[in-house]
Structure 1
Amino acid sequence: MTTRVAAEPLFRQIVEDLKRLIDEGNLPEHAPLPSERVVAEHHDVSRMTARRALEAIEAEGLAYSKDRQGRFVSPRRLNYDVNSMESFAERAARDGIAVEAERVSTRQIPASPERARALQVEPGTALVETCRLFRRDGHATFLETETVILAHCEALGAAPPQEQRYSPLGHMADIVIRMRAMEPEEADLLGAMPHQPGIEQLQQVRDAEGLLICHVRQIWRGELAQFSARALLAE
């Protein structure tokens, strides 16, 4: 039976015990977390208290759920430097992190009113939309949908549109980061539950003259997302 400090809620003590096991490597990445029953018996608490502790570990991004399979230790968060337009995969490789990108789909579409507003073009303008799934060590991490004006494709990249990633070619970007629920199709590709919270990053990528190149929408598994930036506090 675990010794407890009376002032600290029981489930928080269990959370700290589990976090220590993860930090020390006793529960490695993708290892299953103990079940509610095991946690309850080990700490001599109710199943409800054990459930609260496991839910707190997941809420902190240290674990993820698989439908009917339980909870598993999350991989370490990937840092995405929003100051840099460099390819995310190339930067991760330099840090010793294996990131693979799989093209899910590419299609040519007319600009809907919503897309036309995002790219500042007339409705009906020809666009190329490419969806890619990024994995870290085989674990689905984020889904990216990149929409570029077809007329820009030839000037921007030597590769065919389905092979070219346009956002790293930009000079600047307007970025919004927010939480939202995953759509069922997104959740399926990311191995998550439908409507599970994810972190969305929206980019309006521009060239050196400030003209829009493409619109990028990423949806991340929340437990894997970490964004960083450097702010200039004085000129």
Structure 2
Amino acid sequence: MTAVRPSLRLEKSLFAAGRVTVIGVDEVGRGAIAGPVGVGAAAVTVDVRRVPQGLADSKLLSQARRTALVPAVTRWARTSVGMASAKVVDDQGIVAALGLAGARAIASLVEDGVSLDGAVVLLDGSFDWLSRALPAEHRPLDVQVRVKADRDCASVAAASVVAKVARDDLMTAAHEDAPHYAWASNKGYGSTAHYDAIRAVGPHALHRTTWLHAASSVALDGFEELDSLVG
């Protein structure tokens, strides 16, 4: 798949309209059956320079390329990643988990010295799951949703890269304690090897158990046998 090069066109239009900071935000791990959901944030200001060479939506880049880009991205923008655990996904639902992870990412930027005065968030997608999760001290914060922002907007692409690498690293580390789930390769998504391991040994603490119950009957043929393990 050919990577689409994102630009700063939208960010520069926001600066021209008086914005001081643009914070690109993107999520990763929404569709996984194991591990946390992660949200990346990348803050750029009016003096932002040329987009790092090779930057693109993380889904369009190889693992090696994403990892190689992180140093350039973190020099180019102020970045952070927030996470919400599989338990939060189970207990509160994916929308609340995304909001919590996003609020943590924004809070981390603030702790790193990023001011929210005059800031605007560019959020990938068509639904604002972030605003209502922000604590009172971070409101009001203008959040603008944009479909395919991770492809088109450099700040959001940067957020997608740092989030993807951080979450992948976490799942690769978890693989060492539970190699039968093949997390080093599937990163918690529903691969054949992953489902086979769940059938063989049952779920792990990192699994989203409510999502296992909702898993496709094709992917988990005979899944009823797991009810006693995850229920």
- TM-score after normalising by structure 2: 0.26
Larger gyration radius, structure 1 or structure 2: 1
Normalising by structure 1, report the TM-score.
0.26
**Normalized per residue, which structure has more helix?**
2
Q: Which has the higher strand share?
A: 1
